[in-house]
Structures are given as C-alpha cells and as structure tokens.
Structure 1
Amino acid sequence: MDNEQSASDRSRTDRSVIDNAFLILQNQERRYALYFLLEHETASLEEVADIVTGWPRASEYGITGRETRDQVLRDLRHRHVPAMAEAGIVDYDEETDTLSFAPCPPATRSFVRLACLAETVP
C-alpha cells in the first residue's frame, strides 16, 4: 500500500511540475527571462528587463523607447517574477534586486531549454 501511495504522490507531483512549467512558459516575457537565466544563472532585474525588452526586437533591428523598457520592468517585478517564484522556477532577492534560477525540478529546466531551442534556433 505504501508503494502505491508514493507512486501516486509522485504522479501528482510530476503533473504539478509540468502544469507549472507550461503555465509559466506560455508568456513570452517570462520565457525570455528564463532563457537568459539559463546562460547566466543570476542577473539583476534591470539586466533581465533590458534583455526581455530588446530580444524580440533584435532581429528587426528595432529600437525601443525608455517607456517600453520601464513597462517591461514593472511587468516583471509585479507580475512575472512573482508567478515564476511561486511556481518554484526562480528565486528573487528583493534586497539585491537579483533574479536567479531556483533549484527547480530537472524537468522544468528541460522544458525551458527545449522552448529556448524551439524559439531561438532558426
């Protein structure tokens, strides 16, 4: 009976991890923040906002205004970072204003890597 319960608990946990990962990855700004953290592990929220603002426009040689970047920073700080932290994917240190990849389940990192490859490799 104990083995059945632990298998059942693992199944629920696995589904939860998958659900959280896909929920987080459905938003482009969160994906770009996570792609950046894949390479850098830790970054200031300001750096992440710069990347998230500029990345989608880089292939178009577009320039964004300060207002757009400031809006992205606000969205990260008030919506996206809390959602990613609640899902256990990132850690946010308010004191240093830094964001880092949390020690999340390996499946979550795998989903982020696969999404990054699918979205960024021509």
Structure 2
Amino acid sequence: MSKDTPTSTSGERTRAVESLDRTFRALADERRRKTLWYLDRHETADLTDLADHLSDGSEDAARRAYTSLYHKHLPMLSAAGLVEYEAESERVVLTTDTEPLEVVLDSMGKLAE
C-alpha cells in the first residue's frame, strides 16, 4: 500500500479484515457450522432445542451443548454478525445480514484469481 493512501482507507481496510477474521473464526468450529446449518433450515430456534439437536441425545450431552452454546458459540456467531441471540429469551435467529458471509465469499474469489 502506498504512503499516499488516505488513512480512512487504511481504517476501512482494518475494519474489513477484523470483520473477516471474526467470520472465519466463527466458521472454524464444527458446532458453530452445525448451528448455522440448523438455523438455515429453521430460521429461529430455542436454545434448548438447538442444544438437543447438537448433542447425541443424552441429557448430559445436551446440557454440555447448551452451556457451550450459551457461553461460547452463540456470542461468537453473534459478534460475527451471523446470528441474533438474546440470552434472556434464549432465542436464536439466523441474521438477515449476509454481509459477513459475502465478505468471506468475495475474499475467497479474489484469492482464486
């Protein structure tokens, strides 16, 4: 990048890279990808139902899935702009903002060129 590039462009690039990094981190985990797949088919889910779907069916596994979704996976997916999650109501909704995924796909296309 040249020295003559305005700093706003540099700041925009930094924000874009940070957004891309958040999206890739969110997509890196299998449980988060399965969550997105489930929400793609159902649009919205109750946290308990989602945990049941992601577990092997045992109560202990469902409880572990619930805890990891609540504390780790859903906040990360939300930070990446992929889901909307309200902890109070325990509802998870696939976001209609497709920009994070579009950024990933655009970046992948540019890498392939």
| TM-score, normalized by the shorter chain, greater than 0.5 | yes
Highest RCO, 1 vs 2 (Cα 8 Å, sep ≥ 6):
1
Unaligned segments of structure 2, at least 5 residues = 106-113
Code of the residue aligned with 1:12 in structure 2: it is: T
Q: TM-score, normalised by structure 1?
A: 0.66
Is the Cα–Cα contact under 8 Å of residues 81 and 92 in structure 1 kept in the other structure? yes
Count matched residues. Answer: 101
Residues 1:83 and 1:40: Cα distance change in structure 2 (over 3 Å): same
User: Matched residues in 1 for 2:96 and 2:16: separation?
Assistant: 16
Residues 1:19 and 1:110: Cα distance change in structure 2 (over 3 Å): closer
1:77 corresponds to:
70
2:89 to 90, 96, 117: 96
Identity of aligned pairs, percent? 25
State the shift of 1:70 in Å: 1.2
Q: Deviations along 1:40-91, whole A, 9 cap, x unmatched?
A: 221111121122225xxxxxxxxx4211111111111122112222333221
CA RMSD of aligned residues (A): 2.6
1:67 corresponds to:
60
User: Matched residues in 1 for 2:62 and 2:22: separation?
Assistant: 27
User: Matched residues in 2 for 1:110 and 1:7: separation?
Assistant: 17
User: Matched residues in 2 for 1:20 and 1:13: separation?
Assistant: 11
User: Matched residues in 1 for 2:26 and 2:97: separation?
Assistant: 13
Q: TM-score, normalised by structure 2?
A: 0.70
User: Matched residues in 1 for 2:8 and 2:87: separation?
Assistant: 36
Q: Any residues of structure 2 matched to 1:1-122 within 5 Å, and which?
A: 4-54=6-56, 64-108=57-101
Residues 1:107 and 1:89: Cα distance change in structure 2 (over 3 Å): closer
- The worse-fitting range, judged by mean Cα deviation, of 83-92 and 32-41 is 83-92
Larger radius of gyration: 2
